[in-house]
């Protein structure tokens, strides 16, 4: 079995130019910058929109598509939970995005069930379902994703022949394989990944 490219002894990055082409680093930096710009623009646009909704939405609103909205939402939740189970059973990496999506949908479901039933006879059941089913299941899915990501990081760390233990997930860099020259140098004692 052929050895892969050696990691940089200073920062731990692996140069995969041979695999991805000479301009790989520039293309990756452009994609990253565009993606970050879109996300910042979305956040900036959401702030005034949230303010507008807070002052303009009516306290009471009737919808003719209420049933379709909730059934559609629950179908989406069912499909993401089923995909999470399927890919988990098959031991596939696609389990991770489906589990995160299912957790997000469970959190949204709990939020909307509780807030929309506030002051009604259904509030107790909605709150119980949120506290006993939806929130614990979302937490379980997110904890499982965290465990899987830690294992993947540990395996990558080992295969890249990096010294010591991998950093915690909140400090682990994306596995982009090349150093970003625009990032500041590591703080003394900090391993860059």
Average pLDDT over residues 26-52: 90
DSSP character for 7?
A: B
Is residue 163 predicted with pLDDT exceeding 60? yes
CA angle, residues 135, 136, 138, in degrees to nearest 5: 65
Average pLDDT over residues 151-163: 83
112-147 confidence digits (pLDDT tens): 999 999 999 999 999 999 999 999 999 999 999 999
Average pLDDT over residues 46-60: 90
Is residue 185 predicted with pLDDT exceeding 50? no
The pLDDT, as a whole number, for residue 92 is 93
Residue ranges of alpha helices (H) inside 57-94 are 66-89
Q: 18 or 184: whose pLDDT is higher? A: 18
Q: CA 180: distance to chain centroid?
A: 22
What confidence category does residue 164 fall into, taking pLDDT thresholds of 50, 70 and 90? confident
Four-CA torsion 185, 188, 189, 193, nearest 10 degrees:
0
The pLDDT, as a whole number, for residue 1 is 43
Is residue 193 predicted with pLDDT exceeding 50? no
Encode 101-162 in three state secondary structure. HHHHHHHHHHHHHHHHCCCCCCHHHHHHHHHHHHHHHHHHHHHHHHHHHHHHHHHHHHHCCC
CB neighbours (10 Å) of residue 87? 17
Whole-number percent of the chain with pLDDT over 70: 80
What confidence category does residue 162 fall into, taking pLDDT thresholds of 50, 70 and 90? confident
């Amino acid at each position: 079995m052929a050895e892969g490219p050696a990691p940089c002894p200073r920062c731990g990055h692996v140069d995969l130019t041979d695999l991805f082409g000479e301009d790989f680093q520039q293309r990756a930096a452009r994609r990253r910058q565009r993606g970050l710009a879109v996300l910042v623009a979305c956040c900036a646009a959401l702030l005034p929109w949230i303010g507008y909704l807070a002052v303009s939405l009516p306290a009471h609103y009737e919808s003719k598509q209420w049933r379709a909205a909730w059934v559609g939402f629950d179908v989406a939740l069912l499909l993401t939970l089923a995909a999470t189970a399927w890919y988990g059973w098959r031991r596939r990496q696609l389990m991770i995005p489906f589990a995160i999506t299912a957790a997000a949908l469970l959190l949204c479901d709990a939020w909307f069930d509780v807030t929309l039933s506030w002051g009604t006879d259904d509030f107790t059941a909605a709150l119980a379902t949120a506290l006993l089913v939806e929130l614990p299941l979302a937490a379980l899915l997110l904890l499982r994703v965290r465990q899987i990501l830690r294992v993947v990081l540990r395996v990558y760390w080992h295969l890249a022949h990096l010294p010591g233990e991998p950093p915690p997930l909140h400090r682990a860099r994306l596995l982009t394989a090349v150093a970003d020259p625009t990032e500041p140098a590591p703080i003394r004692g900090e391993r860059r990944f």
